[in-house]
Structure 1
């Protein structure tokens, strides 16, 4: 399987045979960029749902608690910003085809093909597996928690830095 996968990259060398190599490479990059933006938007949405599901569980340590080991600044606002900007960039990636006399089917497919494929796969999976989006109070936050709860957090070790400390460390690296 790995030989087939790596030999598939050899097919890319045939791009140099034609004069429109740069155009084809641009289209491949466009498809990959759109897919990457969709992945990042999905991660932001997952974090937002996790954040609010965690607030509904009083038996689990709160993110605002000082003992919570994994903390990032400005959350969930940065996740909302990442989700919105990611989706805006996906939709704006091929806006030029909608301008007068600028229609290109190839550019439209390379810009929005990943989006259509994502929507198709999502709906296909939901219909095939007959799953539903779970309510926040039904999200499983306990799988794998026993193993993590067994870890004894060291009092001397500071696990989460605040934004001011991260900024000072960054400035010290530059100086």
Structure 2
């Protein structure tokens, strides 16, 4: 049960990793740089998340009492505990600095993703036209302001019930991430089978992912299982918890209401695979190719994870 519960926490930690695609419309040479960024995110996750956590498990025993403490600081971080056991006193301050910068970066990423999503929905008449307004630099300031209002929720951490609020938000964000990833898999699978239905080779697409469609199907099934079992503890006899139930499943209800409500209100239909306008967008990509990649000089030749 503890092992399965960790998946929900992991979904919260990885939420927003897909935001690189949102920046495609504002990125330089997106057909070359977005796939490159996606590959590098894989290596960053493998090195900085998986490998570092594995090393910590070799240094900190599961019976260490500090793992279950709740200090509100970085003192109960497994990385800090590992450093403390190695008599390196400066590490807690470094971890606090990393946590603060990571939170700031995550906030910027979410602000970008949320505002651009609203802007895109408005462009396709799926959201009020108000969100299409931009300033002279092309920034959708109305969408940014509306998404930015939610930053004020951070002040809830000043109350005595900050831990309860954090758990609520963590469950909601983890469920939202799983819903978003599931929808991404469904959209990709429809794209994949639309190519197949229309006789278009994947070699014509600017970039194609490996192990498809098997990777997408595996991911979709995994995400749905994790989503449906995210609040499993609420169903254990004698352990009902309204907070866990709502936090784990409210997003599913909201998404179905929005999707079915839009379909019924606007009387739209699901586009058949044979009518998906894949060819039109491939032709646009060919008509406007990315400029040639400039050659790397100096230290940039050795930069594999960021440049």
Q: 2: distance between equivalents of 1:3 and 1:49?
A: 34
Shift of the 14–69 alpha-carbon distance from structure 1 to 2, 3 Å rule, reads: closer
Cα deviation for residue 126 of structure 1 reads: 0.7
Name the SS for the 1:149 alignment partner.
Answer: helix
Q: CA deviation at 1:135?
A: 1.8
Give the Cα separation in 1 of the matches to 2:171 and 2:190: 29
| SS of structure 1 residue aligned to 2:279 | coil
Aligned to 2:170: 29
Local SS of the residue matching 2:268: coil
| Pairing partner for 2:269 from 113, 120, 132 | 132
2:296 matched to which residue of 1?
none
Q: Which digits, 9 at most, give the CA deviation of each residue in 1:38-97, with x for residues without a partner?
A: 111111111111111101223x3x02x4x6541221100000011111111111110111
Other structure's SS at 1:93 match = coil
How many residue pairs end up in the alignment?
152
Aligned to 2:228: 91
Indicate the residue corresponding to 1:9 in structure 2: 151
Q: 1:15 to 1:84 in 2, by over 3 A?
A: same
1:150 pairs with 266, 283, 287, which one?
Answer: 287
Kindly tell me: are residues 150 and 10 of structure 1, through their superposed partners in 2, closer, same or farther at Cα, counting changes over 3 Å? Answer: closer
Inter-partner Cα distance in structure 2 for 1:145 and 1:7: 38
Unpaired runs of 5+ residues, structure 1, are: 158-171
Counterpart Cα distance in 1 of 2:227 and 2:215: 18
Larger proportion of helix: 2
- Tell me what 1:77 maps to: 214
Counterpart of 1:40? 181
Normalized against structure 2, the TM-score is what?
A: 0.45
In structure 2, how many angstroms separate the alpha carbons of the residues matched to 1:32 and 1:126?
A: 25
CA distance in 2, matches of 1:94, 1:134: 34
Q: Which 5+ residue runs of structure 2 have no aligned equivalent?
A: 1-141, 294-303
TM-score, normalised to structure 1's length? 0.75
Instruction: Report the CA distance between 1:150 and its aligned residue.
Output: 2.3
- Which residue number corresponds to residue 168 of structure 1? none
Alpha-carbon distance between aligned partners in 1 of 2:257 and 2:152, rounded to the nearest angstrom: 29
Matched with 2:195 is 54
Distance 1:123 1:152, change over 3 A: closer
- C-alpha distance after superposition, 1:132-159 (max 9, x if no partner): 2122112121343332222579xxx9xx
Contact 2:231 2:244 in 1 (8 A): yes
Aligned-residue RMSD, C-alpha: 2.7
Question: How many angstroms does 1:28 deviate by?
Answer: 0.4
